[in-house]
Amino acid sequence: MTSPVPVVIHHDARHTITAAAGRAAPLETGGLLLGWWDSDRVIVRSAVEVVDPAASGTSWIRRENLAQQALDRAIATLGHPWMGYVGDWHSHPAACEASPQDIRSIRNASRAYAQPLLLIVHRYDGVLDIRAARRGRSHTVLEVTG
Ligand SMILES: [Zn+2]
C-alpha cells in the first residue's frame, strides 16, 4: 500500500480553478498547478489556465507550447524562488470524476519527477477531486491546511 500525500491547496489556486471552470462551462478547461514541495507535502500556491482552443465538453488537452509560456509568465510574475510545476488541473462540466485516462496521464508524468505530482479535477458540482502520483504510482491525498 502507498501512503497518502499531504497536500496544501492555497486559496488563490482554488479560486483560479473555480473561476476558470465557471467561465469555460459547458466546455472543459484546465492548466497548471504551481507551488513547491515542503518535505513530504505538496504546496499548491497558484494555478494558471492554459486555454485549449479545441476544448470540448469532454476534452481539454494541455498544449505544450502554450503551457510552457504560461509557466514562464507565472513564475516571472509570482517571483517566488521555489515556485514551479507541481501538477495539472482541468474541469469536468459533465457529471464524472477523474477518468482512468486522467489518472494514467498524471501517473506517466510523475515518472519524470522525484516528488509527487498532483491532478485536480474541478467537478461539475464544484468539488475539487485531488489525486496524486509518485514515480508512476497512484497515491491518495490528505488535504491539510498550510
Ligand atoms: Zn478529465
Look at residue 81 and tell me whether its pLDDT is greater than 90: no
Ligand 1: centre distance to CA 30 (Å)? 9
Task: Give residue-wise pLDDT tens across range 113-143.
Answer: 999 999 999 999 999 999 999 999 999 999 9
Strands 117-122 and 84-91, sheet pairing: parallel
Look at residue 76 and tell me whether its pLDDT is greater than 80: yes
Q: How confident is the model at residue 34 (pLDDT cuts 50, 70, 90)?
A: very high
Q: Record the cell numbers describing residue 46, joined without a space.
A: 497558484
- What's the mean per-residue pLDDT of the chain? 93
Domain ranges for the chain, please list them. Answer: 5-143
pLDDT of res. 6 = 97
The helix or strand, by DSSP H or E, that contains position 133, with its residue range, turns out to be strand 128-134
Mean pLDDT of 54-82: 90
Ligand 1: centre distance to CA 69 (Å)? 22
Q: How confident is the model at residue 22 (pLDDT cuts 50, 70, 90)?
A: very high
Backbone angles phi, psi at 12, to 5 degrees: -60, -40
Closest C-alpha among 34, 90, 89, 32 to residue 66: 32
Ligand 1: centre distance to CA 81 (Å)? 31
What strands, in cross-sheet order, belong to the sheet with 128-134?
Answer: 137-139, 128-134, 117-122, 84-91, 30-38, 41-49, 5-9, 141-143
Ligand 1: centre distance to CA 128 (Å)? 12
Instruction: Give the pTM.
Output: 0.94
In CATH, 5-143 is 1.10.3720.10: no
Ligand 1: centre distance to CA 105 (Å)? 10
Backbone angles phi, psi at 24, to 5 degrees: -80, -30
Q: Record the cell numbers describing residue 143, joined without a space.
A: 488535504
Look at residue 27 and tell me whether its pLDDT is greater than 80: yes
pLDDT-wise least confident of 27-36, 72-81, 93-102: 72-81
The DSSP bridge partners found for residue 47 are 33
Look at residue 1 and tell me whether its pLDDT is greater than 60: no
